[in-house]
């Protein structure tokens, strides 16, 4: 069910599209255009404190309202963006869009996490370009958190160095999808991480699975002992909530609480809950 919901109206979109290279070319020029014409926009998914389930932040997630294809989900176009040079522009676009959201909605009260392509960190100009977006828009860095998946970091000394520079500028950094790929535990020691977000695969196998529970609890405890803030994503059921709460994780994100929403709905939610 969750998967269907997640895809939503993205059903219109043919998932073979990006595998076909002729189509990939046109997809990329479409994305280029979408950036220019602002067909790309951000929705936000609230994250909650596990103690009282109050909202403590939002994750901004990219959506593409394509004039012909309808709503295209990020999993259908981010991979193509990653393979092309467009990730750099997309990341700066997302940063700018986040600043716009913050500046145009002063009542927005919690930090916003944005997802960056780790590929951008292989460019030595990126950190400064990103920082400049927030400076130019007068958005304090403590209003944002940067989510980066470890995959592209793994083989790149440059990316790790640039990540250190981001942290030195004062950005808060979250390692996203932890445990999903070839996680090297050594990274937890090397990277300047504030937060670790455990991949939702660990949550989806929890119920009735003692071993999966041991692994997840172990990761949470380890992260906490290293001084990291731990968050789990993909909590879809009350049973999962109960389990991860007992494990002492600080923050939770998942469809059980909130789906990604447009800014109007976020503001409505905030006013309802007087957050
Ligand atoms: P992610 O950063 O790990 O984001 C979490 C994804 O899980 C989101 O999917 C979110 O809607 C979904 N999700 C949240 N709670 C649940 C749940 O309880 N169950 C299930 N099944 N899914 C849940 P979305 O929005 O489709 O994004 C997919 C991926 O696309 C993101 O994974 C991220 O890697 C990438 N992405 C999204 N927005 C951006 C962006 O602005 N820039 C970049 N570079 N990548 C982005
Ligand atoms: Mg993320
Ligand atoms: Mg994730
Ligand atoms: Mg992901």
Provide the token pair at 47.
């994250």
Spacing, Cα 59 to ligand 2 middle (Å): 7
Determine the average pLDDT of the residues in 141-162: 88
Spacing, Cα 115 to ligand 4 middle (Å): 9
pLDDT tens profile 74-104: 999 999 898 888 999 999 999 999 999 999 9
Within 6 A (CB) of ligand 1 lie: 2-3, 6, 45, 61-62, 73-75, 78, 94, 115-117, 147, 176-177, 200, 233-236, 253-255, 260
What gap in Å lies between CA 39 and CA 72, rounded to an integer? Answer: 10
Q: What is the pTM of this model?
A: 0.91
Average pLDDT, the chain: 88
Whether the per-residue pLDDT at 139 is higher than 80: the answer is yes
pLDDT tens profile 23-80: 666 777 888 888 888 789 999 999 999 999 999 999 999 999 888 888 889 999 999 8
Provide the token pair at 176.
């996203």
Q: Are 172 and 142 in contact (CB under 8 A)?
A: yes
pLDDT of residue 23: 65
Highest mean pLDDT, choosing among 23-27, 152-156, 215-219: 215-219
Among all bound ligands, the one having the nearest atom to the CA of 61 is 1
Spacing, Cα 114 to ligand 2 middle (Å): 7
């Amino acid at each position: 069910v969750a998967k269907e919901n997640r895809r939503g109206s993205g059903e219109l979109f043919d998932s073979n599209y990006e595998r076909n290279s002729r189509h990939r070319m046109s997809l990329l020029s479409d994305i280029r255009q979408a950036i220019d014409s602002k067909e790309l926009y951000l929705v936000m998914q609230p994250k909650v404190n596990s103690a009282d389930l109050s909202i403590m932040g939002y994750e901004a997630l990219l959506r593409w309202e394509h004039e012909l294809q309808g709503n295209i989900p990020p999993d259908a176009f981010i991979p193509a963006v990653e393979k092309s040079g467009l990730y750099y522009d997309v990341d700066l676009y997302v940063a700018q869009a986040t600043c716009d959201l913050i500046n145009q909605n002063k009542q927005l009260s919690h930090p916003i996490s944005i997802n960056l392509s780790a590929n951008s960190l292989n460019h030595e100009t990126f950190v400064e370009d990103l920082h400049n977006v927030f400076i130019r828009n007068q958005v304090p860095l403590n209003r944002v958190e940067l989510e980066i998946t470890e995959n592209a970091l793994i083989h790149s000394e440059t990316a790790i160095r640039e990540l250190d520079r981001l942290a030195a500028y004062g950005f808060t950094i979250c390692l996203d999808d932890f445990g999903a790929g070839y996680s090297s535990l050594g990274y937890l020691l090397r990277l300047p991480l504030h937060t670790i977000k455990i991949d939702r695969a660990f949550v989806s196998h929890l119920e009735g699975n003692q071993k999966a529970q041991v692994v997840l609890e172990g990761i949470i405890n380890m992260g906490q002992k290293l001084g990291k803030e731990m968050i789990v994503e993909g909590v879809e059921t009350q049973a999962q909530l109960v389990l991860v709460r007992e494990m002492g994780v600080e923050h939770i994100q998942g469809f059980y609480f909130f789906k990604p929403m447009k800014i109007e709905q976020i503001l409505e939610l905030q006013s309802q809950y007087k957050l």
